[in-house]
Each structure stands twice: as C-alpha cells, then as structure tokens.
Amino acid sequence: MQVAQSLTRVTASATDTALVKAAAKFPTAVWLDRIAAIDGAKSTGGAMGLVDHLDAAVAQQKAQSGSTLKPMTIQLVVYDLPDRDCAALASNGELSSANDGMTKYKTLYIDRIAEILARPAYAGLRIVAVIEPDSFPNMLTNVGIGKTVCDSVNSKGVYVQGIQYTLNKLSTLKNVYMYLDIAHSGWLGWDNNRAKAIDGFKTLVKGATPSGNLGIIRGFASNTANYTPLDEPYFDGTDNNVKSGGTTEFYEWNRMIDELSYTDKLRSEFVAAGFPDTLSFIIDTSRNGWGSPKRPTGPAADVDDMRIDRRAARGNWCNVKDTGIGERPRANPDATRTHLDAFVFVKPPGASDGTSDSTATTPNAEGKRFDAMCGSGNVDALSGAPHAGQWFHDQFLMLLRNASPAIK
C-alpha cells in the first residue's frame, strides 16, 4: 500500500517508476510494534493485521506450490516491550512498566500472537520472528551511565522478564524460528561490549525455560534498521585502521568494522560460551548498500577516504543520508558461512526511523516522539521525516536510487 502511494508520486520519471515497481516485490518483515497491529485495520482501509498477513502467505504458498506445498517463510518483528528502547526517544512504545505494562505485554500482546501462530491453518509456514530489536542491547550498554530509564528497567528486570516470557511461549511452536536482536557491529563490536552481550544473552536465554536450553532460539538478527555495511572491501579491522588519533576517529578501536566480521566473531564466541553449533544469524540489508555517488571505488591512504560507510559518526542511526538498499533478501547467501541463514529486509525501506520535527516532544498514541538524533543537529539525518515507522517517501526514493547492487 505504501509503495503504491509512492508510485503515484514518481510518474514523471521513468527510471524512478521502474525502481518503485521493482521494490514492490521485495519481501519485508511485518512489524507488530503495538497491540493494535495484531488486528490491523484492513476492514476500514488501513494496515493488514497478523491474521491477514498469515492468510496471504498461505494463499501465496498454495498458488506457487501446485499439488505439493513448498516451503514459505514469513517474517515478523515482535516489538512492544514495556519501556522499550530505554536510551532513545523516537520509538519508546505504548507500554509502561509503571502502568501495568508487563501484564498487558504478556496477556494482550504475546499471548495473542502465540495463539494466532499456533493455529493449524499456519502450521505449513516457516515463521521467522525477530525478537525485540534494540531494547536488550540498549540496557546492557547503558546501565550505570546516567540513563535513568535503562537503570530502572534493569533493576526491575523488565526486559529480561518480557523477553523470557516471549521465548518461552514461542518455543513451543515448531514452525517458529526465533532470532534475538543483537544490535550491530558499531554498537556491540568492541571486545568489552561483546563480552557483556555474550554473558547477558546467555543468562537471558537460559532462564527462559525450566530446562535452561540454549537451543530454543535459532540465532540472532544483526543490523536491524541500521546502516552498517556487510563488508568494508578496501581494509580490515586491524589496529592501524581502527585506532583513535590515527587516520580516523570513526572506529575508535572497534575492530568489528562491518556486519560479516561481527557475526563471524559472535558466532564463535557464543558457541564457545555453550550455545549449540547450529546457532545462526540473519542480517538486515535493507539500508546498508551505500551505493551513492560518494561511494569510494578503491583503497586510499586514509581510512576515511576508503570506507563505504559515509556517516560522520558510526552511531548516527536516524534516516541517514546517502544510504541505499543493500543485498537483496535470500537464504544461504554465502557458501563459506554456513551460520549465515539469510540476508533479510527487516526494516522496510522507506519506513522512517523517527521524526525530524523538534517540536514533537510529546509522545503520540504509539509512544513515539522527537529524538535529537533525527534533528538538524545530526549532519547525517534527512529533514522532513515523519514519526518512526511512518512512510518516508523521500527516503524511499533515495534508498532505491543508491542501491548497491543496483536495482535492475
């Protein structure tokens, strides 16, 4: 529906029209980012609900399979924790732990999702569930540094209790493959942050079921809604490239310079910590192609002149300029990495990261408001952006035009 709206705005450009039509075929995840998203509003011309999406997937599966059903995957994002995204403002969500949010999360949100997914009509689908982007990594890395909301959810166990409840409920469904969000290399890539993540996620998963089975999750999802490249092709993460005070301040001694090196490292460290060797990863490539005219074409003396990630700072996450769609969604994309299940579009290209309107300081009905990272003070942020999750036509066209590989 949103892509169709953009199509009506690009009739003057044959090239843009072709790009938008191609984008309409990209598989993207269904974001269940509030309780109302479960039902949707299809009957009144609004968004499809969970049942609508699952029914459409079953219909597509039958239409493509003939007499024998072929595998069909549908991606969901479970994203409505109380006090969500404790260190940010753009998408804090609708539920508050201080206002019975955990009870609502369990009974009105997770229980309903689990009941729907368990229906026999959907038993033939492969349901990929990305669990709670950003929140747990937010808490792990922002406790004790003055982020009062993160300190509060940590002390009260809000995120741990909510995610463990979700893992426990969905682990009983054999056709649901759970991937916990593991942020991205620019966030948890440092040795100390990765160590926190390994310990924190192990405790989290182990406590989700009475048996303490670490194999209840399929693995982890990285780069959700972010812009970090799959690969920096012209240099590696050796000290001469990432040191502070040298050729660049961009990496600040973070040797995980891209998502492939990050997921490779995480996989080996998680397995060493006791996770099964079947542990796998998916990487969101919806906005990490970096195919703009500013993209470097070869090695250079200065790292800043050869990194394809063109952000002024690696932590800039909101509606980033000069970005483009990355590798297209596909399963088993790298024969040398059997732990890499797929490239996926978790964040639909064109969905805003947050509003650039600095006056929108009061949370809207979905708990979303202005975050300074989305405003004029961030040189990487596009202007004219709507609230997080809403359609951002100008960003959508930018991503299509700057796609790498190019859209054909």
Q: Using CA atoms, how far apart are residues 230 and 243, in angstroms rounded to an integer?
A: 21
| Range list of β-strands (E), 13-95 | 30-32, 73-78
Q: Annotated catalytic, 199? A: no
Spatial CB neighbours of 255, under 8 Å, sequence gap ≥ 6: 189, 191, 237, 238, 239, 242, 261
Listed residue (182, 183, 186) closest to 316, CA to CA: 186
Query: How far does CA 56 lie from the centroid of its chain?
Result: 23
Structure-token pair, residue 26 = 């990209």
Give the separation between CA 99 and CA 93, rounded to whole angstroms. Answer: 13
Cα separation, 183 vs 130, in Å, equals 12
Percent helix, strand, coil in the chain (nearest 5)? 35, 10, 55
Helix (H) or strand (E) holding 51: helix 50-65
Q: CA 306, 195, 320 angle in degrees (round to 5)? A: 40
Q: Annotated catalytic residue: which of 134, 181, 309, 322? A: 134
Q: Is 284 annotated in the active site?
A: no
Q: How many CA atoms lie within 13 A of 192 on its CB side?
A: 2
Q: Which residue in 284, 353, 371, 380 is the catalytic one?
A: 353
Q: Which of 309, 83, 357 is nearest to 186 (CA)?
A: 309
CA–CA distance, 151 with 406 (Å, rounded to integer):
44
Q: Is 377 exposed, middle or buried (0-12, 13-18, 19+ CB in 10 A)?
A: exposed
**φ and ψ of 209, to 5 deg:** -130, 155
Q: What are phi and psi of 391, to 5 degrees?
A: -75, 130
Which residues does the annotation mark as catalytic?
Answer: 134, 353
